[in-house]
A and B are shown apart, each in its own frame.
Chain A
Amino acid sequence: MDSIVGKKSSLTWAVHISLLILVLLWVFPTAGLLVSSFRTSDQIATSGWWKSFAPSVQNQTLRAAPSNEQKEIDGKFVIEGNLFESGKAAQISAWGVSSREIDVFKPGDIGELRKGGQVTVQANGDYRIEHTEAFTGKRGSRIFITGTQDPEFTMDNYRSVLFDPNNAEGMAKAFFNTLTVTIPATVIPILVAAFAAYALAWMNFPGRALLIACVVGLLVVPLQLALIPLLRFHNDIGIGKGYLGVWMAHTGFGLPLAIYLLRNYMVGLPKDIIENARVDGATEFQIFTKIILPLSFPALASFAIFQFLWTWNDLLVALVFLIDSSGETTVMTKQIVELLGTRGGNWEILATSAFVSIAVPLIVFFAMQRYLVRGLLAGSVK
């Protein structure tokens, strides 16, 4: 465009800046969840995620070493050490020994313990407690500190959501259940639709135009209508709620788009190839498997991505046709809705669970974006 307009105007800058703002607006919410999933629950609850890259000021309650680590030096009993666990260091700006006065001392000051004895704390967390009598008690003295902590991120949330053997949130199981729903529900409609699409594209028979019109019409029928009639049907034929039902339902609901996409693509294939093959005596079945299917790969890939994203992200169909009262077959979307209800405040669990479920579609999306775009362009009814 610039070459047409002929000169770079201030408008070019406006374009860059407005697009940047738009992109940031669109990325910001997702980034928030991603960053939050790497923070501890304390961090999430006390400061906004956008502050997590800057050092934060925090109050902490830490403990000195217990009395069995005391040493006797020059007639005094001494406990020494560093308050911080390794890797969690902070710069101490103030400290105290009672919960009512948590910041009365500066680093290097000497404070009196209530049980007797003196304590000093340095800025880096080193402390030294001295007393003329031996220390008793199992637990070390409490020391309250106010310190600046470097930005800190953790993988613990992912560990507990995915690999915790107790699997309290049930996400690991739900992940496999989702996968179990998704793969057959993606593969089967492709095959069924491909044959139908070929017939609708390249075979002549009465009623073909009417059938195509029906498929276009069924594209927009809301699947809400299908819930009760089909649930009853599934109960009548004895499959009830379960994987078989959900696979069949996804297949049925995915077919109109599949047939529509594939037919549109197949119609555009070169006529000569197909007619030459017919003249050479190839059967329709051979033409389909040897010529049409390989040539239609881009359209097949487009639909596969759509159907994968749709079944992976689906909640309603799984709720109605899959998840029974035992909850054994729960999928990730349902599990996350459940967590939203019961653990609405536990953002570390929610954020991590949500991101586990989002990650797979995102990978597929970025890897196969080309096919997705192509499918969208072919699939929107013109």
Chain B
Amino acid sequence: MHPALQGLLTIILGVGGCVGYFYFSNQFLDKVLFPAKGPNAGKNINRANVIRPWLFLFPALAALGLYLAYPVVETLRMSMMERVPGGEQRFVGLDNYRQMASEPKFWEAIKNNIMWLLIVPALSTAFGLLAAQLSDRVRWGNIAKSLIFMPMAISFVGAAVIWKLVYDTRPVEQDQIGVLNAMYLFFGGSEPNTWLTMPFWNNLFLMIVLVWIQTGFAMVILSAALRGIPEETVEAAVIDGANPFQIFFKIKVPQIKGTIVVVWTTITIVVLKVFDIVFAMTNGQWETQVLANYMYDKLFRANDWGVGSAGAMIIMLLVTPILIWNVYNARQEMN
């Protein structure tokens, strides 16, 4: 069957199935199981209303459980197993973790991930804050925001191509077609550099791609927060003779601290999962490995599910504090 047709059929089946499920399960509950008539009408309505939420929730809960909750447990289990010839698995305790800890590539990934975690959220938030503050003060601010926000719509792979062109290198006797080398030579550099193969620095060049994408997100959220600041506080500061920088750093930033933390943690999670950019631009060569790509390597290139799962658990471990913090905040807010 043609995939497009199959897709159309799936939409119809999926949507129809969902609507059908919700409609008929409700009908069944109200008309057959607990009809709202006869001697037990009142009791039946109450019973039906106890069950109904679960009818509404069931498909979502099933999907969440199967596609997100179960894998966490299963990956934890697999990270302590080893495949033996014949398709069987054997419990090996923490051996996979031990083996992982003995690999220099793993420590390289950890080291790079820490760098990513420090630099990308910081730069994205800083640039986002700057863009938000500046664009709120000029008339063409909305156009500026649109343009800075635009990379959000571009795929990591697309961004990788865009930035590969920026970092492109030609032999010294030819014209440079990459902007970075052209500028480098223009400002007195002697020889074009192959930016993506310079250990340590190439990590920064990869991070710039993510900063470029995430700044728009930070800007949008922070801009809304800046607008929510009560006018009076700013006015009072102006009357007291504060200069614009003082107003920004001493009056505005402290008031949006909460939002800055939210932006920071959200970008942190994106960073922890960063895969496509490294995969497409260097594939972890030249000391640019990161955890997500290391894990992918183990799972699908080396076919080592045990160590791969252990790598995935490390990512999960790093996400967990943020997860707990988010849940805690959400509960506070509901109360």
Contact = CB atoms under 8 A, between A and B. Distances in A.
Given A216-B327, A376-B221, A229 B75 contact: yes
Interface in B288-335: 292, 295-296, 299-300, 305, 308-309, 312-313, 315-316, 319, 322-323, 326-327, 329-331, 333-334
A321 B170 CA distance: 38
Given A188-B18, A196-B56, A223-B273, A18 B134 contact: yes
A150 interface: no
A305 to B, nearest CB: 9
A381 B49 CA distance: 31
B7 A184 contact: yes
B315 A365 contact: no
A259 B65 CA distance: 14
Contact of A225 (B134, B177, B217, B315): B315
B149 interface: yes
A221 B319 contact: yes
A272 B200 CA distance: 60
Contacts of A314: 155
B3 A357 contact: no
Instruction: Pick the most buried of B149, B262, B316, B330: most chain A CB atoms within 10 A of its CB.
Output: B330
Interface in A199-221: 199-200, 203-205, 208-209, 211-221
A158 interface: no
Contact of A36 (B67, B131, B165, B259): B165
A333 B313 CA distance: 27
A15 interface: yes
A89 interface: no
Instruction: Pick the most buried of B10, B54, B149, B281: most chain A CB atoms within 10 A of its CB.
Output: B10
A269 interface: no
A377 to B, nearest CB: 5
A8 to B, nearest CB: 11
Given A209-B334, A226-B71, A361-B153, A192 B60 contact: yes
A380 B216 CA distance: 14
Interface string A348-365: 001100100110011011
Contact of A180 (B6, B160, B182): B6
B329 A381 contact: yes
A313 to B, nearest CB: 3
B275 interface: yes
Interface stretch (A27-35, A70-78, A106-114, A138-146): A27-35
A189 B8 CA distance: 15
Contact of A358 (B149, B155, B177): B155
Contacts of A252: 63-64, 66-68
Interface residues of B, number: 121
Contacts of A273: none
Nearest to B181: A48
B292 to A, nearest CB: 6
A304 interface: no
A184 to B, nearest CB: 5
A192 to B, nearest CB: 5
Interface string B69-82: 11110110010000
B153 A362 contact: yes
Contacts of A208: 53
A15 B245 CA distance: 12
A228 B78 contact: yes
Interface string B159-179: 011111110100000111111
A203 B263 contact: no
A357 B159 CA distance: 11
A193 interface: yes
Given A1-B137, A224-B273, A380-B221, A49 B177 contact: yes
Given A50-B179, A221-B68, A229-B78, A361 B323 contact: no
A53 to B, nearest CB: 15
A285 B23 contact: yes
Given A15-B134, A336-B161, A376-B221, A23 B7 contact: no
A28 B7 contact: no
A213 B330 contact: yes
B289 to A, nearest CB: 15
A33 B161 contact: yes
B280 interface: yes
Given A176-B4, A180-B3, A284-B26, A358 B158 contact: yes
Contacts of B272: 222
B266 interface: yes
Nearest to A354: B161
B152 interface: yes
Given A23-B144, A222-B315, A312 B155 contact: yes
A200 B18 CA distance: 18
A191 B18 contact: yes
B115 interface: no
Contact of B179 (A32, A227, A336, A354): A32
Interface of A: 1-2, 4-5, 11-12, 15-16, 18-19, 22-23, 26-30, 32-33, 36, 44-50, 176-177, 179-180, 183-184, 187-188, 191-193, 195-196, 198-200, 203-205, 208-209, 211-230, 233, 243-244, 247-249, 251-253, 255-256, 259, 283-285, 288, 309, 312-316, 319-320, 329, 333, 336-337, 340, 347, 350-351, 354, 357-358, 361-362, 364-366, 369, 372-373, 376-377, 380-382
5 nearest A-B residue pairs (beta carbon): A252-B67, A313-B155, A196-B60, A365-B153, A199-B56
20 contacts: A19-B138, A33-B161, A33-B162, A183-B7, A184-B7, A193-B60, A199-B57, A220-B323, A221-B319, A222-B316, A224-B292, A229-B74, A309-B153, A313-B154, A347-B168, A351-B165, A377-B221, A380-B266, A381-B266, A381-B329
Given A48-B179, A252-B64, 20 more contacts: A26-B148, A27-B150, A30-B150, A46-B177, A176-B3, A183-B11, A196-B61, A221-B323, A222-B315, A224-B275, A225-B75, A229-B70, A248-B63, A315-B280, A319-B300, A337-B280, A357-B157, A358-B154, A362-B153, A365-B150
Interface of B: 3-4, 6-7, 10-11, 14-15, 18-19, 22-23, 26, 30, 49-50, 52-54, 56-57, 59-61, 63-64, 66-72, 74-75, 78, 127, 130-131, 134-138, 141, 144, 146-158, 160-166, 168, 174-179, 182, 212, 215-217, 220-221, 224, 234-235, 238, 244, 258-259, 262-263, 265-266, 269, 272-273, 275-276, 279-281, 292, 295-296, 299-300, 305, 308-309, 312-313, 315-316, 319, 322-323, 326-327, 329-331, 333-334
